[in-house]
Amino acid sequence: MPRDPVGADNVAMTDANASDADVSAVDACDDDTGAALRAVPIDAEHADQARSRWVDLAGLGGGFGRLEDLGTWMAAVQGHCPPRPIVHPVAVIVGADHGIARTKRTSARDPGQTAATMRLIGTHEASVSAIARVVDVNVRPLDVGLDIDATALDDVDPRISRSRIRRCTGSIDIEDAMEYDEAAAAIALGRRVIDDEIDSGADLFVLGSIGVGATTPASSLIASLTASDPVSVTGRGSGIDDSGWMDKVAAVRDAAHRAKDARGDMTELLARIGGPDIAALSGMLMQAAARRTPVILDGVVVASAALVAHRLDFRARQWWIAGHLSTEPAHAIALERLDLHPVLDLAMPHEEGIGGLLAVPVVRSAIAVLAESPPSDDR
């Protein structure tokens, strides 16, 4: 399969930059996502205004480094220069467990343990909750496929599991992760969650994930969509040893092979080797872009969803930035394919939305400098 072209910077990318392959991927989509809203290009005029303003601030331009990229991007996605402050950011943390961790030694943890983390998120006691308080971001936990009873978290918040798609997934090296209809339903659920949050005032999203075994389907999807070798995309995940890593490489290899004839249909690909978490995240990424709301991506699981969403809606990528670079090798491969440059590099394999959340104050700082600093001539 031909490789996707790597696009230009988010702000500079226009319709003319889209490849024929990207356009055909969108046109060929005939499932639930086909009739949905599409992303529009971000505002190039306000991006140009922001660049001019940075020159006025720094004297020459480039003096504020990545802050300039981020501030310019925010001006473009908001259609306003200087960009407005972020008022109501929301982190959506999507949870699902994956059967591959039960049948193969691809994780140091067992499916079902994710429920404890989801419970802590629901009670605001998790690590991501602590960071969210520091950076002033609301957190919404969402169970779409945890390996627990559907009512297990109702004592915390019945909304967490109210719309979940299924319990755990199949072992993707030998069977489908889920049914096609479940994949389509997960995409649609992701879109509805975004609509609900935007209608309630959300003006920035951080997307994260939790789930035992989740890096295996994420790596498998990235291998499939980037034509990468299984060895090059497979990392240590939750901390597996050498033997576990070899089992994980084999699982990624076998999953990618099972999906080789599904790469023209993203819903089918998700059904075979993805999961309800990755499908829901794909829907969220597309809907946020369609509703003109920026997104900060977290780790490798979200990045795999972004590759899928990019295939379904090639303009959506302009509305996303990468919050950080994880230590999972597939993450760097996916971000390179998407031409997204991480804000932070914390040498952190952990998912849970933490890296994405830590990028929020950097984005807020870029907005503040661009909006509040006087021109260099006035200093």
| Tens digit of each residue's pLDDT (9 = 90 or more) over 350-378 | 889 999 999 999 999 999 999 998 876 55
How many other CB atoms are there within 10 angstroms of residue 79's CB atom? 13
Q: Label residue 18 left, alpha or beta by phi (over 0 means left) and psi (-120 to 50 means alpha).
A: beta
**What mean pLDDT value characterizes the chain?**
89
* Residue 59 in tokens: 């004297």
Could you tell me which residues come within 8 angstroms of residue 80 by beta carbon, excluding any fewer than 6 positions away?
46
The whole-number pLDDT of residue 35 equals: 55
- Is-catalytic flag, 125? no
Q: Find where tokens 């975004």 sit.
A: 194
How far is residue 133's CA from residue 365's CA, in Å, rounded to a whole number? Answer: 17
Residue 277 near residue 184 (C-beta atoms within 8 A) = no
The whole-number pLDDT of residue 241 equals: 80
The whole-number pLDDT of residue 311 equals: 97
Q: What is the pLDDT along the chain (379 residues), one digit of tens a residue?
A: 333 322 334 544 433 333 333 333 333 333 444 457 899 999 999 999 999 999 988 765 568 999 999 999 999 999 999 999 999 999 999 999 999 988 777 776 776 789 999 999 999 999 999 999 999 999 999 999 999 999 999 999 999 999 999 999 999 999 999 999 999 999 999 999 999 999 999 999 999 999 999 999 999 999 999 999 999 999 887 777 888 889 899 999 999 999 999 999 999 999 999 999 999 999 999 999 999 999 999 999 999 999 999 999 999 999 999 999 999 999 999 999 999 999 999 999 888 999 999 999 999 999 999 999 887 655 5
The whole-number pLDDT of residue 236 equals: 87
Q: Is the peptide bond before 82 cis (omega within 30 degrees of 0)?
A: yes
pLDDT tens, residue by residue, 143-180: 999 999 999 999 999 999 999 999 999 999 999 999 99
β-partners of residue 96 are 145
β-partners of residue 142 are 94
The whole-number pLDDT of residue 34 equals: 43
With b for 16 or more beta-carbon neighbours within 10 A and e for fewer, the 3-29 pattern comes to ebeebeebbebeeebbeeebeebbeeb
How many other CB atoms are there within 10 angstroms of residue 163's CB atom? 16
The letter for the amino acid at 120 is L
The letter for the amino acid at 168 is C
Could you give phi then psi for residue 137, rounded to 5 degrees? Answer: -130, 135
Shortest CA distance to 319 belongs to which of 299, 340, 342? Answer: 340
Order of all β-strands in the sheet with 295-297: 138-145, 89-96, 204-210, 295-297, 320-322
* Range 87-359 classified under CATH 3.40.50.10210: yes
Out of 182, 268, 351, 352, the active site residue is 352
How far is residue 1's CA from residue 231's CA, in Å, rounded to a whole number? Answer: 19
pTM over 0.85: yes
How far is residue 220's CA from residue 228's CA, in Å, rounded to a whole number? Answer: 9
Residue 234 near residue 248 (C-beta atoms within 8 A) = yes
